[in-house]
Structures are given as C-alpha cells and as structure tokens.
Amino acid sequence: MSAALFAVSGVLFVSALFVVAMFNRLVALNRRCDQAGSDIDVQVKQRFDLIPNLVEIVKGYAGHERGTLEAVMKARQATMAGGSPAAQAQSDAALGSALGRLFAVAEAYPDLKASTNFSDLQAELSDIENKIAASRRFLNSAVNEYNTTREQFPANTVASFFGFESRSNDVIASADRGRVEAAPAVRF
C-alpha cells in the first residue's frame, strides 16, 4: 500500500518538475525574443543618430541636392513615429530607399566622393545596415524557436494553460518583398 503511494507521489513529483522546466523554458524563449527586438532598436537608433552627420557633409559639397537631402531627413523622422510593426516596416523601407537615392546622387560629386569623412560615414552606415539585417534574422530564429517549442507536445499543454501566445516573425521581410517585387525604375 505504501509502495504504491510512494510510486504515485514520485510520478507526480517528476511530472511537476517537468512542467516547471517547460514553463521556464517558454519564459526564457519569450524573453529572448523581446531582447532580440530591443537589440534591433539599438542598431536602428545608431543609424538614426548617424544620418544628420551624413546630411551635413553632403550639404557642404552638394548643396543643390536639397530635394534628396530633405527626403532623407523626412524619412528619418517618420521612422521614429512608431505605430504598428507593419507601419514601422514601411517607414524603414522608405528610409532605406531614400538613403540609396542619396548615395546614388553623391556619385556625381567627385569632391564628395574623395572626402574621407563621407566615405567613413558611408562605410559605417553600410555596416549598421548589415548589423540590422543580422539582428532581424536573429530575431526571426528566436521567434521560430519560441513558436516551435510552444506548439510541440507536451509543452503545448503547459503553453495553453499558462497563456503563452504565438509570436509573429519580423515583418520587414514582407515589406521589403513588396519593394523588390515592384519593377525597379531604371533611368539612363
């Protein structure tokens, strides 16, 4: 009689440990997704801070290109407006294309291209874009790990009981896809 009691309580104890382990794992994965998102924000903020320097340098050499410069500053401002992730993605894509136009315009000014300040800034911005892309991919894999763990058995019972919700992937990819699928305007 006592042996059976012992066995049952042992099984219950081990199950409880398992539930605790799964809960903690889900919490940790959830937090990692948040952290990955914050890491992206750090990079985005860095890009935000660098852009005024770039605009100043270009203004010094190519003051006539005010239209392009203003477009960049406006796009920069729009990214800080916040909003839904989809809207963020759109404003981010807009900034990217505005910067691209600025660099294309800068090609026509040899003095500007020769300036080491300009080339350093260009390299830094390019580096930040790479870092942002890498951080986004990291966020995607973190979200994927969280969602997969959340849906697999037996963790899905724990997840539904404690209310762990599904997370969506980073939406920049989908916004960019829209840009890529539109035919690029090429002018000769």
Partner 1 sequence: MLPVNGLYGHIANNIAKSAVLMAGFVLLVAIYWWAGCLLFSALLSMRFGSTSRFGWSRAVTDAMPAHHNSYLPGPTFEGILDYATQTALVHWMIPAGLALVWFVYAFLFYRSIIRAATRSKPLERRAEPKLYNLVENLAISAGLPMPRIELIDSNAMNAYAAGLSPSSATIGVTRGLLLKLPADELEAVLAHEMTHIKNRDVSLMVVALIFANGITLIGNFAGSFFSRDDGGITIPEIAIPTGGGNSEDGEKAAGGVLIAVLAAILAFALMGIAHVFAQLNQFAISRAREYMADAGAVELTKNPDALIAALQRISQDDDVPLADDSMRAMMISRAFDGDSFLDSLFSTHPAIADRVDKLERFAGGRVRAAPVRTAIAARAPAPASITARTPQPAMGISGARATFGRRG
Binding interface with partner 1 (CB under 8 A): 18, 21-22, 25, 28-29, 32, 39, 130-131, 134-135, 137-138, 140-142, 144-145, 148-149, 152, 155
> Residue 146: is it exposed, middle or buried by C-beta count within 10 angstroms (0-12/13-18/19+)?
buried
DSSP 150: H
Q: Select 98 or 158, whichever has its Cβ closest to partner 1.
A: 158
* Closest distance of CB 118 from partner 1, Å: 20
* Closest distance of CB 85 from partner 1, Å: 19
Q: Select 14 or 73, whichever has its Cβ closest to partner 1.
A: 14
Q: Which long-range contacts (CB under 8 A, 24 or more apart) does 69-76 make?
A: 69/102, 71/98, 71/101, 71/102, 72/98, 72/99, 72/102, 74/98, 75/99, 76/48, 76/51
* Closest distance of CB 159 from partner 1, Å: 13
Q: Select 29 or 98, whichever has its Cβ closest to partner 1.
A: 29
Q: Select 105 or 133, whichever has its Cβ closest to partner 1.
A: 133
* Closest distance of CB 135 from partner 1, Å: 5
Which tokens belong to 72? Answer: 């960049």
Q: Are 79 and 95 in contact (CB under 8 A)?
A: yes
Q: How far is CA 151 from the centre of its chain?
A: 24
Q: Select 101 or 131, whichever has its Cβ closest to partner 1.
A: 131
* Closest distance of CB 18 from partner 1, Å: 8
Q: Select 28 or 73, whichever has its Cβ closest to partner 1.
A: 28
* Closest distance of CB 149 from partner 1, Å: 5
Q: Are 64 and 109 in contact (CB under 8 A)?
A: no
> Residue 3: is it exposed, middle or buried by C-beta count within 10 angstroms (0-12/13-18/19+)?
exposed
Residue 86 amino acid letter: A
